[in-house]
Structure 1
Amino acid sequence: MRAQSVVAFGGGHGLHASLTALRLLVDDLTVDDLTAVVTVADDGGSSGRLRGEFGVLPPGDLRMALAALCGNDTWDVTWSRVLQHRFEGAGEMRGHVVGNLLIVSLWELLGDHVQALDWVGRLLGAKGRVLPMALTPMVITAEVAGLTPDDPDARVTVRGQVEVATTEGRITSIGLEPADPTVCPESVAAVHAADWLVLGPGSWFTSVIPHLMIPALREAIVTSDARLVVVLNLEEQPGETIGLGPGDHLATLIEHAPDLKPYAVLADRRSVGADADTLAATVAAYGARLVLDDVMVDDGSPRHDPAKLAAAYARIFADS
């Protein structure tokens, strides 16, 4: 089987897990070209502070993606640890992350988002490329039910990634402000050149679905000849997907992008459990193939095991 070109979408810990797995496939030559397209709507923590002060894209999810792609020798691993180092202390630097400062510094120095990220990737020996999904800072908004005590069905608009991710209500839909941000052209080109697209796992409403809300990027995804793999989360996420089963996650994704055509849906068989039949029916209704595999760490905690996830990806790529 020839090596495959893969583009993975997401942000935060979910994308980090997926990229760590896919990097293993680069090492064994199953994948020869790997690109991460990363959500850039974070407004909390170090990223939010830098975004507010400098008017830049939030760098945190981009930093995590770069760290996931770092090489295995001492140089690469050391620089990855530096990139992820968070300052302690009690002063103004408390909570800032070295990698965030480095990325923003390069953005200011070079004046080019993509070129700056490529330079950090070279420093780390990254086994792939990291790109932002858009070049415009944006705000995630959500329509949320259950926040009005005397009218549980009333919809309230919640603004900002942190507020959306921690809402106590039930998210019914999300949007972006601006609604049509400037897409990263290199991200669109990578999608059209790919053999496979991987969407998820991750925070469903704040890391996964936002990629489908950018018109130009969504158009690239749905018109690409690449096959799309949707990776479901291992459990509900407080503040975002409480009450949503595995099939509901997929249905919510399609509701936001009705023209999306998944080729395969990957889920962990232990986390799906009794919902397997319902999930299978939902997946079949969208014309996709359900892949139940063992991708969770052995201690039972809701974390993807990179080696197991890599093996699952390799089987999907080989069986196509």
Structure 2
Amino acid sequence: MSDASVFVAGSDPKVVALGGGHGLAASLSALRKVTEQLTAVVTVADDGGSSGRLREEFGVLPPGDLRQALAALCGDDEWGRTWAEVLQHRFDGKGPLSGHAVGNLLIVALWERLGQHVDGLDWVARLLGARGRVLPMCAVPLQIQAEVIGLDPADPAAVSIVRGQAEVAITTGEVLNVALVPNDPPACAEAVEAVRSADGIVLGPGSWFTSVLPHLMVPELAAALHETEARRVLTLNLAPQVGETRDFSPEKHLEVLAAHAPDLRIDVVIADDAFVADQPALAAAAATLGAELVVADVARNDGSPRHDPERLAQVYAKVLDD
């Protein structure tokens, strides 16, 4: 399949994809084959690696997940492939640049030059020829805070507080719930408007507690997700994630989402057929969210827990056009 839309001509929908990291990149790689009117809304809670260092030093939003979303929207021509590789390139060595991604530095440089997060990201997108727009979820950097059980060997039932996205992602305990600090952060106004005016919303796949659920806890963004007339699609992961969702069934993912956003209605839940052990149970869990369950082969053929862009695009095209 080429990058051309799989919709019929003239029916390009406005689609907003929410998430972060590799999960959001997977949905964007598929959705760019479905529509030219694509907006990514990206979580801004990363505090590890290059993003964490830049966040601490300059007080900026962590740029890493924003960078990955921009790279995923690059075209498949020589220009797009080259810029995607440059954006993702990390410096080696032992000096101060070691570990930094080129794209992170470029984004922060434009933020310093222009003084506006959205303007800076739009300039990067123009440079790359990105097929869509990338926006931050919030106007301020966030911290993830989780209640985790099972970290104390002497008291396995004790609940501990784990702070920071990087720490929550690798916790050896069971995450019970997550919250944002601050708990009422200002949403990015352009992101809220994109959600309200969308024809389709795609949430997930991705790190459930640190990339997917945070969008539902930003008051203005959550209100827009509740009130939008867009078709809301939830894409499940292909496997539990070591740390955050170890041993989670697909149904458990939906239960956790419902616990964090009990009033949110979902129209469609997409799951890979190889990950669904009990389809009736998953269908019942989806129904509690108001959703239809769509089970399809959306994984790559290499055995890895990664979505295949072309297969996922076909499913998105169908469910968003219904």
Which category describes the TM-score, using the shorter chain as reference length?
over 0.9
Alignment partners' CA distance in 2, 1:215 and 1:151: 35
- In structure 1, the partner of 2:80 is 76
Deviation sequence 1:185-231 (CA, Å, 0-9, x none): 00000000101100000000000000011111111101111111000
Instruction: Give structure 2 stretches of 5+ with no counterpart.
Output: 1-7
Moved beyond 4 Å, runs of 4+: none
Runs of 5+ in structure 1 lacking a partner? Answer: 26-30
Q: CA RMSD in A?
A: 1.0
Q: Aligned ranges for residues 152-163 of structure 1 at < 5 Å?
A: 152-163=156-167
- Please tell me whether the aligned partners of residues 245 and 275 of structure 1 are also in contact (alpha carbons under 8 angstroms): no
Helix, strand or coil at the partner of 1:267: strand
Q: Does 2:284 correspond to 1:281?
A: yes
Give the deviation of 1:47 after TM superposition: 0.4
Q: How far apart in 2 are the matches of 1:145 and 1:241?
A: 13
Q: CA deviation at 1:126?
A: 0.6
Residues 237-274 of structure 1, C-alpha deviations (whole Å, 9 max, x = no match): 011001210011011011100111000000001121x2
1:187 and 2:191 correspond? yes
**Normalising by structure 1, what TM-score?**
0.96
- The answer to whether the 8 Å contact 2:36/2:131 transfers is no
- Tell me how far 1:72 sits from its aligned partner: 2.3
- Within 5 Å, which residues of 2 pair with 1:292-311? 292-311=295-314
Pair 1:86-2:61 in alignment = no
Corresponding position: 1:111 with 2:120: no
1:28 aligned partner: none
Distance 2:63 2:36 in 1: 26
Deviations 1:137-189 (A, max 9, x none): 11100000111223222211100001100111100000011111111000000
The separation in 2 between residues aligned to 1:79 and 1:32, in whole angstroms, is 19
| Structure 2 partner of 1:166 | 170
The question of 1:134 aligning with 2:143 is answered no
Please say which of residues 31-40 and 114-123 is displaced more in the overlay. Answer: 31-40
Q: Which amino acid aligns with 1:3?
A: D
Return the alpha-carbon distance in structure 1 between the equivalents of residues 225 and 320 of structure 2: 18
- Whether contact under 8 Å (1:77, 1:124) holds in the other structure is no
In the aligned structure 2, how far is the partner of 1:211 from the partner of 1:193? 17
Aligned equivalents of 1:225 and 1:58: distance in 2? 31
Structure 1 CA distance for aligned equivalents of residues 275 and 302 of structure 2? 13
Distance (Å, rounded) in 2 between the aligned partners of 1:257 and 1:265: 15
Does the residue aligned with 1:24 lie in a helix, a strand or coil? coil
Distance 1:286 1:83 in 2: 38
For 2:58, which of 31, 43, 54 is the aligned residue? Answer: 54
CA contact (8 A) 2:264 2:289 kept: no
Question: What is aligned with 1:229?
Answer: 233
- Match for residue 122 of structure 1? 126
User: Which amino acid letter does the alignment assign opposite residue 172 of structure 1?
Assistant: L
Task: Give 1:8's aligned residue.
Answer: 17
Give me the whole-angstrom Cα distance separating, in 2, the residues matched to 1:41 and 1:292. Answer: 31
Q: Which amino acid aligns with 1:276?
A: Q
Count of aligned residue pairs for this structure pair: 313
Q: Percent identity among equivalent residues?
A: 61
- Return the TM-score normalized by structure 2: 0.95
Q: Contact 1:76/1:123 (CA < 8 Å) preserved in 2?
A: no
Q: Structure 1 residue aligned with 2:266, among 258, 262, 265?
A: 262
The 2-side partners of 1:129 and 1:151 are apart by 47
Q: Does the Cα contact within 8 Å between 1:7 and 1:37 map onto a contact in 2?
A: yes
Output the amino acid matched with 1:220. Answer: A
